[in-house]
Amino acid sequence: QAKQYGRGGYTFYNEDLGDQLKQQALLEEELKGAVERMDIEPFFQPIVDIENGHVKGFEVLSRWTSPTLGAVPPDIFITIAEDMGLIDAITWQVMRKALKVAASWDNDLFIAFNMSPHLFNDELLMNIKWQLSESKFDPKRMEIEITENAVIGNMDEARVALDSLKDLGIQVSLDDFGTGFSSLATLSKLPFDKIKIDKSFVTDLDSMPQNAKIVGAILALAKSMEIAVTAEGIETNDDLNFLSAHECLQGQGYLFARPMHAQDVSNFLADANELERGGKKLRVS
């Protein structure tokens, strides 16, 4: 920044831009290689029944550690993958790995997958059906999370897609609820089973009246529409207590556990009955 006013500020600006482009090109190159080598890994973050502490399932979150760049956050590499046309490959690779892991668990926990808007096409259903039959995974244990970006502009096609997913027994969730421009319109037009309250609202619920009001209103809305709710990003006992008092069904957040490697999931499940979070005992049934 300061450089901008230095010797030939203009030139420096261009150099910075050049650096950025180099960095971007490197990222793209590395990501392409990573997808070819199937280096992107599913991590698993538990989703817990707030009322009784039962672990109900896991959200799958993609992780990529580049040998030269280190860990690259999914918000960054998923966007690049979408632009480069790599999101299909990543999604189906990660799903295949995650289903293989989940099929080995001795329980009936669900797993939830994030679907990029780019995947909302004719092949979506075919791919998911193939994945389910390949892994012999019960569709009733699968959830698909989409943001309103995936459906905006083509509500009719989206309804057909969601209906077919639901016909298979798959649950569909509206992710990052409250952050888009037309969350309510999306909710009213499409048959979602679940809302995920965006983590930006799930913070300081005891001390920030605005957040408390918004979360309270979303919970009341979901209740009247008979839609399930998961609150994302629960980090403190106070936030958990607020959600519990307002009858939020499920919760997810660092307070319970961070997203973890497949190898750590078995330990987590084995130890969960000994864990206490926000004054509640966790349980795996």
Question: Which positions lie near ligand C2E, rule CB under 6 A?
Answer: 45, 61-62, 73-75, 78, 91, 94, 114-116, 145, 175-176, 199, 232-235, 252-254, 259
Q: Exactly one of 176, 190, 248, 278 binds Mg ion (CB under 5 A); which one?
A: 176
Contact region with Mg ion (CB under 5 A), list: 113-121, 125-133, 245-253, 258-266:
113-121
Q: How far is the CB of 232 from ligand C2E (least distance, A)?
A: 5
Contact flag: residue 143 with Mg ion (CB under 5 A): no
Contact region with Mg ion (CB under 5 A), list: 125-133, 138-146, 255-263, 270-278:
138-146
DSSP string computed for 49-103? ETTT-BEEEEEEEEEEEETTTEEE-HHHHHHHHHHHT-HHHHHHHHHHHHHHHHH
Give CA–CA dist 180/84, Å, rounded: 24
Rank residues 30 and 214 by Cβ distance to Mg ion and give the closer one: 214
> β-pairing, 110-114 with 55-66?
parallel
Neighbours of 83 (CB within 10 A): 11
User: E strands within 37-123?
Assistant: 41-49, 55-66, 70-72, 110-114
CA atoms within a 13 Å half-sphere pointing along the CA-CB vector of 65: 6
Rank residues 99 and 115 by Cβ distance to ligand C2E and give the closer one: 115
Rank residues 8 and 93 by Cβ distance to ligand C2E and give the closer one: 93
Rank residues 12 and 127 by Cβ distance to ligand C2E and give the closer one: 127
